[in-house]
Amino acid sequence: MNDYINDFTNQLKDAMEIGSAAQLKKSNKTFKNVLICGLGGSGIGGTIVNDVLSSGVSIPILATKDYSIPNFVDDSTLVIASSYSGNTEETLYALEKCIKKNAEVCIITSGGKLKNLAEENNFNHIIIPGEQPPRAMFGYAFTELFYVLTHYGIIDEAFKADFEKAINLLDAEKADIQSQAKDLAKKMYQQTPVIYVAQGFEGVAVRFRQQINENSKMLCWHHVIPEMNHNELLGWRTNVENLAVVYFRNKLDFDRNQVRMDINKKVISKYTSNISEVWSKGDSVIENTLYHINLGDWISWYLSEMNNVDAIEIDVINYLKEELAKI
């Protein structure tokens, strides 16, 4: 896992080359909405893309992480099915329902049943490198979503410059990001991490939580400002032992949410001194997002080392899939 995280910017570069070279058919449809189907390491990209783009696109982009699909799906819906293995059960079920509703389908995968479906039905598709842990290939699945959305006219090509700036930023800040990650991992070791972000960056918090779950083999939770100000903030009274609070912050966070975060810290500091905040670097939402994703990935790796666990091992998930296959 250390090697995968270390290779993150090379993944992004390679993904941009794959996206630029993708041979996708044109569509004459006018789309009213976009649905991204995917789970886990493949699906989180859809959540983050929605965060990044929602304020700048004219149609809604939603992500589904289930067997079901929204009732609005029809022939004016662009459906992007993203499954690294190509065999994710829930994604295949959801896609089947989308096909029956005559949605426009584009697939991002490394192979499996999804690749076969794409070839058999002549669906647009982008094939990414396979045979790796899905969560370690986030750079590919995430990047290709932007190329698909550009192809269908949902967004323009401005994202490419932001990705290139993010790659340069992460390469330049690599040593500092690793140093911060080590320090934060020490504060989170043998604690339950509590991750807070401002609205617009929830996908980043989810990704961080998932990486701690899968790589570090730890439980944790996340919440979003301002929503948590109306509920979770009151929970900081009891059962507050052994918690490590981390705020992922960005200059682009809405100013009122910035104020809320500062007040939150004052409230929470009455119950724990284990509070950290990390400011992203970069000038765009994409740069801020990729900065914190890379930082979070490194933290999860250092925690896996401290916990003496195999970051790649997913035995219990494999057991779950084996049991489902029997039914």
pLDDT per residue, tens digit, the chain (327 aa), is: 777 888 999 999 999 999 999 999 999 899 999 999 999 888 899 999 999 998 899 999 999 999 999 999 999 999 999 999 999 999 999 999 999 999 999 999 999 999 999 999 999 999 998 877 777 888 999 999 999 999 999 999 999 999 999 999 999 999 999 999 999 999 999 999 999 999 999 999 999 999 999 999 999 999 999 999 999 999 999 999 999 999 999 999 999 999 999 999 999 999 999 999 999 999 999 999 999 999 999 999 999 999 999 988 888 888 888 898 888
Active site residue 120: no
Distance CA 281, CA 184 (A): 17
Q: What is the CATH number of domain 2-157?
A: 3.40.50.10490
User: Which of the residues 186, 251, 270, 321 is marked catalytic?
Assistant: 321
Active site residue 321: yes
User: Which of the residues 230, 266, 322, 323 is marked catalytic?
Assistant: 230
Distance CA 73, CA 279 (A): 38
**Topology agreement, domain 2-157 and domain 175-306:** yes
pLDDT of residue 55: 86
Using an 8 Å Cβ cutoff, are 65 and 38 in contact?
yes
pLDDT of residue 14: 94
pLDDT of residue 1: 72
Return the beta strands (E) in 84-220 as ranges. Answer: 104-109, 124-127, 192-198
Distance CA 129, CA 218 (A): 28
Distance CA 309, CA 303 (A): 9
pTM of the model: 0.94
Domain ranges of the chain: 2-157, 175-306
pLDDT of residue 209: 96
Number of H helices, E strands in the chain: 12, 9
The residue behind tokens 């996340």 is 222
User: Which of the residues 90, 214, 281, 292 is marked catalytic?
Assistant: 214
Active site residue 125: no
Using an 8 Å Cβ cutoff, are 195 and 221 in contact?
yes
Q: In DSSP terms, which residues pair with 243 in a beta bridge?
A: 192
223's enclosing H/E stretch is strand 221-225
pLDDT of residue 149: 97
Q: In this structure, which topology does domain 175-306 adopt according to CATH?
A: Rossmann fold (3.40.50)
pLDDT of residue 257: 97
Rg of the chain over Cα atoms, rounded to whole angstroms, equals 20
